[in-house]
Amino acid sequence: MKLTFAKKLLAFTAAGLIASSAVAQDKATSLDQLLQMVKDSKVSESADHRKREAEFKRQKANQRQLLDQAKNTKVAEEARSEKLEKTYEEQEVLVSAKRAQLQERLGSLQELFGHLTSTAGDLRTNIDNSIVSAQYPNRGDFLDELIDKMNSNTKLPNIEEIERLWYELQRETIEGGKVVKFNGVVAKPDGEQSTQEVVRIGTWNLVSDGKYLTYSADSGNMSELTRQPAGEFLSAMSELQAASSGFVKVGIDPTGPSGGSFLAALINSPDLVERWHQGGTVGYIITGVGVFAMLLGLFRMIVLSAVSAKVSAQLRATSPNTNNPLGRVLKVADDNKGLDGESLELKLEEAVLKEKPSIESGLNLLKIISAVAPLLGLLGTVTGMIVTFQAITIFGAGDPKAMAGGISGALVTTVLGLVVAIPTVLMHTLVNGRAKRVLHILDEQSAGIIAENAERK
Protein backbone atom coordinates (compact mmCIF):
# COMPACT_ATOMS: atom_id res chain seq x y z
CA MET A 1 0.00 0.00 0.00
CA LYS A 2 2.84 2.39 0.92
CA LEU A 3 4.78 1.37 -2.17
CA THR A 4 1.79 2.09 -4.33
CA PHE A 5 1.37 5.56 -2.74
CA ALA A 6 5.07 6.30 -3.27
CA LYS A 7 4.75 5.27 -6.87
CA LYS A 8 1.77 7.58 -7.36
CA LEU A 9 3.55 10.50 -5.68
CA LEU A 10 6.63 9.96 -7.81
CA ALA A 11 4.51 9.71 -10.93
CA PHE A 12 2.72 13.02 -10.18
CA THR A 13 6.02 14.77 -9.44
CA ALA A 14 7.56 13.45 -12.62
CA ALA A 15 4.51 14.47 -14.61
CA GLY A 16 4.85 18.03 -13.28
CA LEU A 17 8.52 18.16 -14.17
CA ILE A 18 7.83 16.77 -17.62
CA ALA A 19 5.06 19.36 -18.22
CA SER A 20 7.42 22.23 -17.30
CA SER A 21 10.40 20.84 -19.24
CA ALA A 22 10.99 21.47 -22.91
CA VAL A 23 13.08 18.32 -23.33
CA ALA A 24 10.61 15.74 -21.99
CA GLN A 25 8.34 15.10 -24.96
CA ASP A 26 7.79 11.29 -24.83
CA LYS A 27 5.88 9.33 -22.24
CA ALA A 28 7.86 7.13 -19.77
CA THR A 29 7.21 3.41 -19.89
CA SER A 30 9.02 2.59 -16.64
CA LEU A 31 10.24 4.20 -13.42
CA ASP A 32 13.83 4.14 -14.65
CA GLN A 33 12.95 6.00 -17.79
CA LEU A 34 10.97 8.49 -15.73
CA LEU A 35 13.95 9.14 -13.43
CA GLN A 36 16.21 9.57 -16.42
CA MET A 37 13.80 12.03 -18.00
CA VAL A 38 13.63 14.05 -14.75
CA LYS A 39 17.44 14.14 -14.58
CA ASP A 40 17.79 15.25 -18.21
CA SER A 41 15.17 17.96 -17.68
CA LYS A 42 16.95 19.27 -14.61
CA VAL A 43 20.27 19.38 -16.45
CA SER A 44 18.65 21.19 -19.37
CA GLU A 45 17.02 23.77 -17.09
CA SER A 46 20.32 24.42 -15.33
CA ALA A 47 22.02 25.04 -18.69
CA ASP A 48 19.24 27.48 -19.71
CA HIS A 49 19.53 29.36 -16.44
CA ARG A 50 23.28 29.74 -16.84
CA LYS A 51 22.79 30.94 -20.39
CA ARG A 52 20.23 33.58 -19.37
CA GLU A 53 22.43 34.71 -16.48
CA ALA A 54 25.40 35.17 -18.82
CA GLU A 55 23.22 37.13 -21.26
CA PHE A 56 22.00 39.39 -18.44
CA LYS A 57 25.56 40.12 -17.29
CA ARG A 58 26.62 40.87 -20.87
CA GLN A 59 23.69 43.28 -21.39
CA LYS A 60 24.42 45.00 -18.08
CA ALA A 61 27.98 45.69 -19.17
CA ASN A 62 26.70 46.89 -22.55
CA GLN A 63 24.21 49.29 -20.89
CA ARG A 64 26.97 50.80 -18.82
CA GLN A 65 28.97 51.33 -21.99
CA LEU A 66 25.97 52.96 -23.70
CA LEU A 67 25.45 55.24 -20.69
CA ASP A 68 29.07 56.37 -20.81
CA GLN A 69 28.73 56.95 -24.54
CA ALA A 70 25.57 59.06 -24.02
CA LYS A 71 27.31 61.20 -21.41
CA ASN A 72 30.20 61.82 -23.76
CA THR A 73 27.75 62.75 -26.56
CA LYS A 74 25.93 65.16 -24.24
CA VAL A 75 29.18 66.93 -23.37
CA ALA A 76 30.12 67.17 -27.08
CA GLU A 77 26.69 68.54 -28.06
CA GLU A 78 26.78 71.12 -25.27
CA ALA A 79 30.14 72.30 -26.51
CA ARG A 80 28.81 72.45 -30.09
CA SER A 81 25.72 74.35 -28.91
CA GLU A 82 27.86 76.98 -27.23
CA LYS A 83 29.90 77.30 -30.38
CA LEU A 84 26.75 77.65 -32.55
CA GLU A 85 25.26 80.27 -30.23
CA LYS A 86 28.42 82.29 -30.46
CA THR A 87 28.44 81.94 -34.25
CA TYR A 88 24.73 82.93 -34.40
CA GLU A 89 25.37 86.08 -32.35
CA GLU A 90 28.25 87.03 -34.60
CA GLN A 91 26.19 86.41 -37.76
CA GLU A 92 23.19 88.30 -36.36
CA VAL A 93 25.38 91.34 -35.89
CA LEU A 94 26.67 90.87 -39.43
CA VAL A 95 23.12 90.50 -40.84
CA SER A 96 22.00 93.67 -39.07
CA ALA A 97 24.92 95.54 -40.55
CA LYS A 98 24.24 94.17 -44.02
CA ARG A 99 20.55 95.01 -43.70
CA ALA A 100 21.35 98.57 -42.72
CA GLN A 101 23.75 98.78 -45.63
CA LEU A 102 21.01 97.45 -47.96
CA GLN A 103 18.49 100.02 -46.73
CA GLU A 104 21.04 102.76 -47.18
CA ARG A 105 21.88 101.69 -50.73
CA LEU A 106 18.23 101.21 -51.72
CA GLY A 107 17.41 104.78 -50.82
CA SER A 108 14.49 106.01 -52.95
CA LEU A 109 14.09 102.55 -54.50
CA GLN A 110 12.49 101.39 -51.28
CA GLU A 111 9.70 103.94 -51.66
CA LEU A 112 9.39 102.99 -55.32
CA PHE A 113 9.05 99.32 -54.44
CA GLY A 114 6.36 100.21 -51.93
CA HIS A 115 4.32 101.98 -54.61
CA LEU A 116 4.91 99.14 -57.04
CA THR A 117 3.78 96.59 -54.46
CA SER A 118 0.58 98.54 -53.79
CA THR A 119 -0.10 98.99 -57.50
CA ALA A 120 0.58 95.33 -58.24
CA GLY A 121 -1.79 94.26 -55.45
CA ASP A 122 -4.59 96.51 -56.73
CA LEU A 123 -4.00 95.35 -60.29
CA ARG A 124 -4.11 91.71 -59.24
CA THR A 125 -7.50 92.27 -57.59
CA ASN A 126 -8.82 94.12 -60.65
CA ILE A 127 -7.57 91.46 -63.04
CA ASP A 128 -9.06 88.64 -61.00
CA ASN A 129 -12.50 90.29 -61.01
CA SER A 130 -12.39 91.78 -64.52
CA ILE A 131 -14.33 90.18 -67.36
CA VAL A 132 -11.37 91.02 -69.59
CA SER A 133 -9.72 87.96 -68.02
CA ALA A 134 -12.34 85.84 -69.81
CA GLN A 135 -10.59 86.84 -73.06
CA TYR A 136 -7.04 87.04 -71.67
CA PRO A 137 -6.69 84.44 -68.89
CA ASN A 138 -3.68 84.10 -66.58
CA ARG A 139 -2.68 87.74 -67.00
CA GLY A 140 -1.88 88.23 -63.33
CA ASP A 141 0.16 85.12 -62.63
CA PHE A 142 3.43 87.07 -62.71
CA LEU A 143 2.18 89.60 -60.16
CA ASP A 144 2.54 87.21 -57.21
CA GLU A 145 6.19 86.62 -58.03
CA LEU A 146 6.74 90.34 -58.56
CA ILE A 147 5.22 91.20 -55.19
CA ASP A 148 7.34 88.54 -53.46
CA LYS A 149 10.50 89.98 -55.04
CA MET A 150 9.69 93.53 -53.99
CA ASN A 151 9.01 92.38 -50.41
CA SER A 152 12.14 90.21 -50.27
CA ASN A 153 15.50 91.22 -48.82
CA THR A 154 17.42 88.95 -51.17
CA LYS A 155 15.71 89.46 -54.54
CA LEU A 156 15.04 92.45 -56.78
CA PRO A 157 12.57 92.76 -59.66
CA ASN A 158 14.02 93.28 -63.11
CA ILE A 159 13.11 95.98 -65.60
CA GLU A 160 11.06 93.58 -67.75
CA GLU A 161 8.77 92.71 -64.84
CA ILE A 162 8.23 96.36 -63.91
CA GLU A 163 7.51 97.23 -67.54
CA ARG A 164 5.04 94.36 -67.77
CA LEU A 165 3.23 95.73 -64.71
CA TRP A 166 2.89 99.07 -66.50
CA TYR A 167 1.73 97.26 -69.67
CA GLU A 168 -1.02 95.32 -67.86
CA LEU A 169 -2.25 98.54 -66.25
CA GLN A 170 -2.51 100.20 -69.63
CA ARG A 171 -4.11 97.16 -71.25
CA GLU A 172 -6.84 96.94 -68.61
CA THR A 173 -7.66 100.61 -69.13
CA ILE A 174 -7.69 100.34 -72.93
CA GLU A 175 -9.73 97.12 -73.01
CA GLY A 176 -12.38 98.82 -70.88
CA GLY A 177 -13.25 101.04 -73.85
CA LYS A 178 -13.53 98.29 -76.47
CA VAL A 179 -16.37 96.14 -77.79
CA VAL A 180 -14.68 93.00 -79.09
CA LYS A 181 -15.57 89.47 -80.16
CA PHE A 182 -13.70 86.32 -79.22
CA ASN A 183 -14.36 82.59 -78.98
CA GLY A 184 -14.79 81.05 -75.57
CA VAL A 185 -16.35 78.13 -73.71
CA VAL A 186 -19.82 78.99 -72.38
CA ALA A 187 -21.78 76.84 -69.94
CA LYS A 188 -25.51 76.55 -70.61
CA PRO A 189 -28.11 76.48 -67.82
CA ASP A 190 -28.53 72.72 -68.39
CA GLY A 191 -24.81 72.15 -67.74
CA GLU A 192 -23.77 71.66 -71.37
CA GLN A 193 -20.63 73.51 -72.48
CA SER A 194 -19.95 74.75 -75.98
CA THR A 195 -17.38 76.93 -77.72
CA GLN A 196 -19.11 79.94 -79.26
CA GLU A 197 -18.60 83.57 -80.15
CA VAL A 198 -18.68 85.95 -77.17
CA VAL A 199 -19.05 89.72 -77.31
CA ARG A 200 -17.34 91.68 -74.53
CA ILE A 201 -18.65 95.19 -73.91
CA GLY A 202 -15.71 96.88 -72.23
CA THR A 203 -15.51 95.77 -68.63
CA TRP A 204 -19.28 95.77 -68.24
CA ASN A 205 -20.97 92.74 -69.77
CA LEU A 206 -20.43 89.55 -71.75
CA VAL A 207 -22.97 88.48 -74.36
CA SER A 208 -23.27 85.37 -76.53
CA ASP A 209 -26.06 84.28 -78.90
CA GLY A 210 -28.05 87.33 -77.83
CA LYS A 211 -28.01 86.38 -74.13
CA TYR A 212 -26.19 87.83 -71.15
CA LEU A 213 -23.34 85.86 -69.59
CA THR A 214 -21.78 85.90 -66.16
CA TYR A 215 -18.08 85.49 -65.44
CA SER A 216 -16.85 83.60 -62.38
CA ALA A 217 -13.60 85.08 -61.07
CA ASP A 218 -12.88 81.97 -58.97
CA SER A 219 -13.10 79.40 -61.76
CA GLY A 220 -12.56 81.71 -64.74
CA ASN A 221 -15.60 80.23 -66.51
CA MET A 222 -18.37 81.96 -68.45
CA SER A 223 -21.95 80.78 -68.02
CA GLU A 224 -25.28 81.84 -69.44
CA LEU A 225 -27.61 83.53 -66.98
CA THR A 226 -30.52 81.31 -66.00
CA ARG A 227 -32.90 84.27 -66.08
CA GLN A 228 -32.54 86.88 -68.77
CA PRO A 229 -33.78 90.50 -68.90
CA ALA A 230 -36.77 91.58 -70.97
CA GLY A 231 -36.95 90.68 -74.64
CA GLU A 232 -36.11 94.18 -75.82
CA PHE A 233 -32.68 93.97 -74.20
CA LEU A 234 -32.00 90.54 -75.71
CA SER A 235 -32.98 91.69 -79.20
CA ALA A 236 -30.60 94.64 -78.85
CA MET A 237 -27.81 92.27 -77.84
CA SER A 238 -28.51 90.11 -80.89
CA GLU A 239 -28.20 93.20 -83.09
CA LEU A 240 -24.90 94.07 -81.40
CA GLN A 241 -23.46 90.61 -81.99
CA ALA A 242 -24.52 90.68 -85.63
CA ALA A 243 -23.12 94.18 -86.23
CA SER A 244 -19.64 94.70 -87.64
CA SER A 245 -19.49 98.50 -87.40
CA GLY A 246 -21.51 101.53 -86.42
CA PHE A 247 -23.53 102.08 -83.26
CA VAL A 248 -26.09 99.80 -81.62
CA LYS A 249 -28.24 100.84 -78.70
CA VAL A 250 -27.93 98.20 -75.97
CA GLY A 251 -28.50 97.94 -72.25
CA ILE A 252 -25.45 97.34 -70.05
CA ASP A 253 -25.07 96.87 -66.34
CA PRO A 254 -23.22 99.84 -64.78
CA THR A 255 -22.20 97.62 -61.85
CA GLY A 256 -20.63 95.02 -64.16
CA PRO A 257 -17.02 95.54 -63.02
CA SER A 258 -18.09 95.09 -59.39
CA GLY A 259 -19.99 91.87 -59.99
CA GLY A 260 -23.10 92.89 -61.94
CA SER A 261 -25.30 93.33 -58.88
CA PHE A 262 -27.75 95.61 -60.67
CA LEU A 263 -28.36 93.14 -63.51
CA ALA A 264 -28.69 90.27 -61.04
CA ALA A 265 -31.22 92.22 -58.97
CA LEU A 266 -33.10 93.21 -62.13
CA ILE A 267 -33.44 89.73 -63.57
CA ASN A 268 -34.12 88.12 -60.19
CA SER A 269 -36.99 90.50 -59.50
CA PRO A 270 -40.29 88.63 -60.01
CA ASP A 271 -42.39 89.66 -62.98
CA LEU A 272 -46.11 90.43 -62.92
CA VAL A 273 -47.21 86.81 -63.19
CA GLU A 274 -44.82 85.70 -60.46
CA ARG A 275 -46.04 88.52 -58.24
CA TRP A 276 -49.59 87.35 -58.85
CA HIS A 277 -48.71 83.79 -57.85
CA GLN A 278 -47.17 85.12 -54.61
CA GLY A 279 -50.68 86.03 -53.51
CA GLY A 280 -51.49 82.37 -53.06
CA THR A 281 -55.02 81.08 -52.56
CA VAL A 282 -56.41 84.40 -51.36
CA GLY A 283 -54.90 86.11 -54.39
CA TYR A 284 -56.56 83.63 -56.73
CA ILE A 285 -59.92 84.20 -55.03
CA ILE A 286 -59.55 87.98 -55.34
CA THR A 287 -58.62 87.60 -59.01
CA GLY A 288 -61.66 85.41 -59.65
CA VAL A 289 -63.93 87.88 -57.90
CA GLY A 290 -62.42 90.74 -59.88
CA VAL A 291 -62.88 88.95 -63.20
CA PHE A 292 -66.48 88.18 -62.29
CA ALA A 293 -67.09 91.82 -61.34
CA MET A 294 -65.63 93.09 -64.62
CA LEU A 295 -67.67 90.62 -66.68
CA LEU A 296 -70.82 91.51 -64.76
CA GLY A 297 -70.18 95.23 -65.14
CA LEU A 298 -69.52 94.93 -68.88
CA PHE A 299 -72.61 92.78 -69.34
CA ARG A 300 -74.81 95.28 -67.48
CA MET A 301 -73.28 98.16 -69.44
CA ILE A 302 -74.14 96.44 -72.72
CA VAL A 303 -77.67 95.61 -71.55
CA LEU A 304 -78.36 99.11 -70.21
CA SER A 305 -76.87 100.69 -73.32
CA ALA A 306 -79.31 98.66 -75.43
CA VAL A 307 -82.20 99.56 -73.10
CA SER A 308 -81.22 103.22 -73.16
CA ALA A 309 -81.15 103.21 -76.96
CA LYS A 310 -84.62 101.65 -77.09
CA VAL A 311 -85.93 104.19 -74.55
CA SER A 312 -84.49 107.03 -76.62
CA ALA A 313 -86.19 105.59 -79.69
CA GLN A 314 -89.45 105.33 -77.73
CA LEU A 315 -89.22 109.02 -76.85
CA ARG A 316 -89.25 109.83 -80.55
CA ALA A 317 -92.07 107.39 -81.35
CA THR A 318 -95.81 108.28 -81.32
CA SER A 319 -97.08 104.90 -80.10
CA PRO A 320 -95.83 102.76 -77.23
CA ASN A 321 -93.63 99.73 -77.97
CA THR A 322 -93.44 96.99 -75.36
CA ASN A 323 -89.81 96.07 -76.20
CA ASN A 324 -88.53 98.70 -73.73
CA PRO A 325 -89.40 99.85 -70.18
CA LEU A 326 -90.74 103.24 -71.28
CA GLY A 327 -92.98 101.65 -73.89
CA ARG A 328 -94.44 99.30 -71.31
CA VAL A 329 -95.10 102.20 -68.94
CA LEU A 330 -96.78 104.21 -71.73
CA LYS A 331 -98.85 101.12 -72.65
CA VAL A 332 -100.19 101.08 -69.08
CA ALA A 333 -101.15 104.75 -69.44
CA ASP A 334 -102.92 104.09 -72.76
CA ASP A 335 -104.79 101.14 -71.31
CA ASN A 336 -106.05 103.23 -68.35
CA LYS A 337 -107.00 106.57 -69.93
CA GLY A 338 -110.38 106.74 -68.22
CA LEU A 339 -109.07 106.43 -64.67
CA ASP A 340 -108.89 109.32 -62.28
CA GLY A 341 -105.54 110.98 -61.55
CA GLU A 342 -104.78 109.16 -58.31
CA SER A 343 -105.57 105.73 -59.74
CA LEU A 344 -103.54 106.43 -62.87
CA GLU A 345 -100.64 107.62 -60.74
CA LEU A 346 -100.71 104.38 -58.77
CA LYS A 347 -100.86 102.33 -61.96
CA LEU A 348 -97.86 104.16 -63.41
CA GLU A 349 -95.87 103.85 -60.18
CA GLU A 350 -96.60 100.14 -60.18
CA ALA A 351 -95.38 99.85 -63.76
CA VAL A 352 -92.17 101.78 -62.99
CA LEU A 353 -91.53 99.61 -59.91
CA LYS A 354 -91.85 96.49 -62.07
CA GLU A 355 -89.22 97.81 -64.44
CA LYS A 356 -86.82 98.98 -61.72
CA PRO A 357 -85.40 95.54 -60.60
CA SER A 358 -84.39 94.56 -64.14
CA ILE A 359 -82.80 97.96 -64.70
CA GLU A 360 -80.85 97.95 -61.40
CA SER A 361 -79.90 94.28 -61.63
CA GLY A 362 -76.24 93.63 -60.61
CA LEU A 363 -75.65 97.05 -59.06
CA ASN A 364 -75.75 95.82 -55.47
CA LEU A 365 -73.43 92.91 -56.32
CA LEU A 366 -70.88 95.27 -57.89
CA LYS A 367 -71.08 97.48 -54.81
CA ILE A 368 -70.53 94.53 -52.48
CA ILE A 369 -67.53 93.30 -54.51
CA SER A 370 -65.94 96.75 -54.43
CA ALA A 371 -66.24 96.70 -50.63
CA VAL A 372 -65.21 93.06 -50.06
CA ALA A 373 -62.14 93.00 -52.37
CA PRO A 374 -59.96 95.21 -50.10
CA LEU A 375 -61.02 93.13 -47.11
CA LEU A 376 -59.95 89.94 -48.89
CA GLY A 377 -56.63 91.62 -49.69
CA LEU A 378 -56.19 92.53 -46.02
CA LEU A 379 -57.02 88.95 -45.06
CA GLY A 380 -54.31 87.63 -47.38
CA THR A 381 -51.79 90.14 -46.02
CA VAL A 382 -52.49 89.17 -42.42
CA THR A 383 -52.22 85.43 -43.12
CA GLY A 384 -49.02 86.01 -45.12
CA MET A 385 -47.50 88.04 -42.29
CA ILE A 386 -48.39 85.27 -39.85
CA VAL A 387 -46.53 82.74 -42.00
CA THR A 388 -43.55 85.10 -42.34
CA PHE A 389 -43.26 85.67 -38.60
CA GLN A 390 -43.59 81.95 -37.94
CA ALA A 391 -40.64 81.38 -40.28
CA ILE A 392 -38.68 84.09 -38.45
CA THR A 393 -39.48 82.37 -35.15
CA ILE A 394 -38.14 79.06 -36.47
CA PHE A 395 -35.19 80.16 -38.58
CA GLY A 396 -34.42 83.57 -37.08
CA ALA A 397 -34.08 86.96 -38.77
CA GLY A 398 -30.52 86.48 -40.00
CA ASP A 399 -31.45 86.95 -43.66
CA PRO A 400 -33.17 90.32 -44.22
CA LYS A 401 -33.77 89.45 -47.90
CA ALA A 402 -35.83 86.40 -47.03
CA MET A 403 -37.84 88.36 -44.47
CA ALA A 404 -38.41 91.22 -46.93
CA GLY A 405 -39.44 88.71 -49.61
CA GLY A 406 -42.05 87.17 -47.29
CA ILE A 407 -43.48 90.56 -46.36
CA SER A 408 -43.51 91.59 -50.02
CA GLY A 409 -45.42 88.43 -50.94
CA ALA A 410 -47.91 89.07 -48.14
CA LEU A 411 -48.61 92.59 -49.42
CA VAL A 412 -49.43 91.29 -52.91
CA THR A 413 -52.96 90.37 -51.82
CA THR A 414 -53.53 93.93 -50.61
CA VAL A 415 -52.48 95.21 -54.01
CA LEU A 416 -54.76 92.69 -55.72
CA GLY A 417 -57.66 93.73 -53.51
CA LEU A 418 -57.17 97.40 -54.42
CA VAL A 419 -56.68 96.55 -58.10
CA VAL A 420 -60.04 94.77 -58.06
CA ALA A 421 -61.87 97.31 -55.87
CA ILE A 422 -60.92 100.48 -57.78
CA PRO A 423 -62.13 99.36 -61.25
CA THR A 424 -65.21 97.78 -59.68
CA VAL A 425 -66.16 101.08 -58.03
CA LEU A 426 -65.70 102.86 -61.35
CA MET A 427 -67.74 100.19 -63.15
CA HIS A 428 -70.47 100.44 -60.54
CA THR A 429 -70.58 104.20 -61.02
CA LEU A 430 -70.92 103.88 -64.80
CA VAL A 431 -73.58 101.15 -64.63
CA ASN A 432 -75.47 102.99 -61.93
CA GLY A 433 -75.41 106.16 -64.07
CA ARG A 434 -76.94 104.32 -67.02
CA ALA A 435 -79.59 102.78 -64.80
CA LYS A 436 -80.42 106.13 -63.16
CA ARG A 437 -80.83 107.72 -66.61
CA VAL A 438 -83.39 105.13 -67.68
CA LEU A 439 -85.26 105.35 -64.36
CA HIS A 440 -85.19 109.13 -64.55
CA ILE A 441 -86.83 109.01 -67.99
CA LEU A 442 -89.49 106.62 -66.69
CA ASP A 443 -90.25 108.86 -63.71
CA GLU A 444 -90.26 111.95 -65.91
CA GLN A 445 -92.66 110.47 -68.47
CA SER A 446 -94.93 109.09 -65.74
CA ALA A 447 -95.12 112.49 -64.09
CA GLY A 448 -95.86 114.07 -67.48
CA ILE A 449 -98.68 111.65 -68.18
CA ILE A 450 -100.22 112.27 -64.78
CA ALA A 451 -100.00 116.04 -65.25
CA GLU A 452 -101.68 115.85 -68.69
CA ASN A 453 -104.44 113.67 -67.27
CA ALA A 454 -105.00 116.17 -64.45
CA GLU A 455 -105.20 119.08 -66.92
CA ARG A 456 -107.82 117.33 -69.06
CA LYS A 457 -110.07 116.85 -66.07
265-282 b/e with 16+ CB inside 10 Å = b?
Answer: eebeeeeeeebbebbbeb
**Nearest C-alpha neighbor of 230 from the set 204, 263, 257, 202:** 263
Residue 368: what pLDDT? 94
Residue 374: what pLDDT? 93
* pLDDT tens digits along 12-59: 444 444 444 444 445 667 777 777 777 666 656 667 777 887 777 777
Residue 20: what pLDDT? 44
Name the pTM for this structure: 0.54
Residue 102: what pLDDT? 67
How do the domains of the chain map onto residue ranges?
2-78, 107-175, 180-261, 278-456
Residue 1: what pLDDT? 41
Report the run of H or E that residue 213 belongs to, with start and end: strand 211-215
From residue 429, give the alpha-carbon distance in Å to each of 42, 255, 433.
Answer: 130, 49, 6
Residue 258: what pLDDT? 56
Residue 107: what pLDDT? 63
Residue 84: what pLDDT? 92
Residue 65: what pLDDT? 80
Residues of the chain with pLDDT under 50: 1-25
Q: Which distant-in-sequence residues (6+ apart) come within 8 Å of 200 by Cβ? A: 131, 132, 134, 135, 178, 179, 180, 181, 182, 206
